[in-house]
């Protein structure tokens, strides 16, 4: 084991690394500037458990109605060897899809290890690459190295080979109404699909084929309008791929962050947990609330130390990057002399304070 791997294991407190899925991997790209998250993710620390232990549980609960609806939609699309899906690709997108075979790589029963399943996916994909024949592979098991650790991905997607190229088909249950879906949800789907595309590309290159045998265009299958009928659209995930690759490369440089941390730091449960977490610098922003399990803890911390970032990135920008609310207010009321680099910000704040005062006094 390398030093880094050892250090990361110590950080986990001996617990096995947490499994990543596309959602958690995609979330890695959300706040790349945060060292705390970088370290925890690289070590595979169960952030959800840590947040709960600290008394700040994340609120990422899902309603069973949403789960049921999602499952029902997926089952419908995949029924009879993906009959409906194929019709959709042929009719809606005008693809000449020849006869295809359908292979579900999910294990029914059996207690097959992940390595074994991964090997099977690999073997089948290798054969498909050679023959170039149209095949739908459901539930492929993929692998992606996260900070030197292999993370297995069990995507709820189908890898589909058409004309010698693989496409990722992702089935989502949010509706596309009159050709439009909620931008947030499409963006999230694109980020996740990019993870699958990347993992599939890694696999394909390992098998000696060029990476572009996996297309950057993803088929997104969603319910149409208010019905249960599927509709398909093409999603270009190149931008998301670029961000993801950059962020994964960053994670492998986690050793640089580790160097700055105490040698005995660990996120194992216990009295010292909160201090251990605090020892790694965070960069809280309100966006964390929707992407990171640690958000409630970090928000509390950011608020307690009067960080302007807790109010939002735009506020921090308006304040010329001043990090502390106390400092900003002191600059605004003139009780603090600005350092030369803050002179402009301070002048702006004093002006804003005067204008607010004038307007409010005038109104009173």
Partner 1 sequence: MSALTSLAQLQAVATGRAQPIATVRHCHLAEAPLVMVPLKLAGEAAAPLAMMLGTRPSDPTLLVVPQPRNRDLRFAFAADLAKVVLDHIEASRGSVEQLPPGRDGEERTRYSDAPQLLVPNRGGVAFLRLLGRSTRFRRTEGPYAVDAAVPALGRWLTWFGERHDHPGSSLLLAMTEVLRLHWATGQSAVEDGNLAALLGWIDPPEGMDGPAAAARAEDPVVCPPAGPATDPTFDNEVLAPAMAAYQQNAPQAEEKIRAALESQLAPTWELMWRGVRLLRALPEGASVPARWERDRDAFTHFHQTFGEGYPQARRDPPVRAARRLHELERAQESYEAQRAFDDPLVMAEHRLAGEAFGGVVTECDPTRLDETGKRPRLRPRLWVRTEDPVRLEPGTTVCSADRPALKGRVVKLAEGAVLLELTGGMGRRLTPEPGTVPQVGDRVCFTSRVADSWGVARFPDREETPWTHGGPTEDYVPTDEDAAEEWS
- 78 makes contact with ligand SF4 (CB under 6 A): no
Q: Write down the least CB distance from residue 48 to ligand SF4, Å.
A: 12
Nearest-angstrom CA–CA distance, 162 and 9: 42
CA dist 179 → 70, 126, 254 (Å): 20, 36, 42
Site residues for partner 1, 31-70, by CB under 8 A, read 61-70
For 284, list phi and psi in degrees, rounded to 5: -70, 135
Among partner 1, ligand SF4, none, residue 283 binds (CB under 5-8 Å by kind) = ligand SF4
State yes or no: residue 284 binds ligand SF4 (CB under 6 A): yes
Applying CB under 6 A, among 25, 220, 251, 282 the residue interacting with ligand SF4 is: 282
> CB-wise, 294 or 349, nearer to ligand SF4?
294
Total number of residues that touch partner 1 (CB under 8 A): 53
**Partner in contact with 329, chosen from partner 1, ligand SF4, none, beta carbon below 5 to 8 Å by kind:** partner 1
- Binding mask 290-309 toward ligand SF4 (x if CB under 6 A, else -) reads --x-xx--x-----------
45 binds ligand SF4 (CB under 6 A): no
Q: Which residues are CB-contacts of 157 (< 8 A; sequence separation ≥ 6)?
A: 140, 168, 169, 170, 171, 193, 196
How many other CB atoms are there within 10 angstroms of residue 281's CB atom? 14
Q: Which of 52, 120, 283, 350 binds ligand SF4 (CB under 6 A)?
A: 283
Who's near 176: CB < 8 A, 6+ residues apart? 222, 223, 224, 225, 231, 233
User: Does residue 173 touch partner 1 according to CB under 8 A?
Assistant: yes
Binding mask 12-31 for ligand SF4 (x = CB under 6 A): -------------------x
The region of 19-27, 119-127, 196-204, 221-229 touching partner 1 under the rule CB under 8 A is 221-229
Closest CA to 15 of 269, 293, 271, 272: 269
Using the contact rule CB under 6 A, the part of the chain among 125-133, 212-220, 276-284, 341-349 near ligand SF4 is: 276-284
**Three-state SS for 113?**
coil
Provide the minimum distance between the beta carbon of 159 and ligand SF4 in the complex, in angstroms, as a whole number: 31
3-class SS of residue 342: helix
Q: Quick one: 268 exposed, middle or buried, by C-beta within 10 A (0-12, 13-18, 19+)?
A: middle
> What is the three-state SS of 33-87?
CCHHHHHHHHHCCCHHHHHHHCCCCCCCCCCHHHHHHHHHHHHHHHHHHHHHHHH
Are the beta carbons of 235 and 220 closer than 8 angstroms?
yes
- The one of partner 1, ligand SF4, none whose footprint includes residue 99, by CB under 5 to 8 A per kind, is none
204 in Cβ contact with 60 (< 8 Å): no
Please pick, from the candidates 28, 328, 342, 346, the single residue that binds partner 1 as defined by CB under 8 A: 328
305 binds partner 1, rule: CB under 8 A: no
Choose from ligand SF4, partner 1, none: what does 202 bind? Cβ within 5-8 Å by kind. Answer: none
Query: What b-and-e string marks burial along 340-360, b requiring 16 or more CB atoms within 10 Å of the CB?
Result: eebeebbeebeeeeeeeeeee
115 sits near partner 1 (criterion: CB under 8 A): no
Q: Least distance in Å: CB of 53 to ligand SF4?
A: 15
Nearest approach, Cβ of residue 307 and ligand SF4 (Å): 10
The radius of gyration computed from the CA coordinates of the chain, to the nearest angstrom, equals: 25
Shortest Å, Cβ 330 to partner 1: 10
Which value, to the nearest 10 degrees, does the dihedral of the CA atoms of residues 116, 122, 123, 129 take? 170
DSSP H stretches of helix in 102-208? 114-131, 183-206
Instruction: Check if the beta carbon of residue 144 is closer than 8 Å to that of residue 204.
Output: no
d(CA 16, CA 11): 11
Least distance from ligand SF4 to the Cβ atom of residue 11, Å: 14
Taking CB within 5 to 8 Å according to partner kind, which of partner 1, ligand SF4, none is near residue 67?
partner 1
> Residue numbers of the site for partner 1 (CB under 8 A)?
61-70, 173-175, 177-179, 223, 225-229, 286-287, 289-290, 303, 306, 308, 310-312, 314-315, 318-319, 325, 328-329, 332, 348-349, 351-356, 358-360, 362-363
């Amino acid at each position: 084991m390398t030093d880094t791997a050892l250090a990361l294991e110590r950080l986990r407190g001996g617990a096995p690394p947490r499994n990543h899925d596309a959602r958690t991997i995609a979330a890695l790209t959300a706040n790349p500037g945060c060292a705390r998250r970088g370290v925890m993710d690289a070590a595979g620390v169960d952030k959800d458990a840590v947040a709960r232990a600290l008394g700040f549980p994340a609120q990422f609960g899902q309603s069973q109605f949403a789960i049921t609806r999602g499952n029902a939609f997926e089952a419908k699309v995949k029924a009879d060897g993906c009959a409906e899906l194929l019709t959709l690709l042929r009719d809606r997108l005008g693809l000449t899809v020849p006869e295809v075979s359908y292979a579900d790589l999910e294990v029914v029963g059996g207690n097959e290890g992940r390595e074994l399943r991964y090997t099977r996916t690999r073997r089948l994909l290798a054969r498909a690459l050679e023959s170039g024949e149209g095949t739908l592979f459901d539930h492929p098991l993929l692998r992606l190295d996260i900070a030197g650790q292999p993370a297995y991905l069990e995507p709820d997607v189908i890898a589909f080979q058409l004309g010698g190229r693989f496409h990722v088909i992702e089935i989502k249950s949010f509706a596309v109404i009159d050709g439009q879906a909620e931008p947030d949800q499409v963006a999230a789907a694109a980020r996740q699909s990019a993870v699958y595309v990347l993992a599939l590309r890694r696999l394909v290159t390992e098998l000696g084929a060029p990476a572009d045998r996996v297309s950057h265009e993803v088929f997104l299958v969603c319910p149409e309008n208010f019905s249960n009928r599927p509709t398909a659209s093409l999603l270009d995930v190149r931008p998301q791929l670029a961000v993801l690759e950059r962020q994964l490369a960053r994670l492998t440089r986690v050793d640089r962050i580790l160097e700055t941390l105490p040698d005995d730091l660990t996120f194992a449960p216990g009295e010292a947990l909160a201090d251990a977490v605090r020892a790694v610098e965070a960069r809280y922003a309100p966006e964390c609330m929707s992407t990171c399990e640690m958000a409630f803890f970090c928000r509390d911390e950011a608020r307690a130390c009067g960080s302007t970032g807790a109010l939002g990135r735009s506020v921090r920008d308006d304040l010329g990057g001043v990090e502390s609310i106390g400092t900003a207010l002191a600059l605004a009321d003139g009780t603090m002399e600005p350092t030369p680099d803050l002179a402009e910000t301070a002048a702006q704040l004093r002006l804003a304070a005067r204008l607010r005062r004038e307007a409010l006094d005038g109104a009173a």
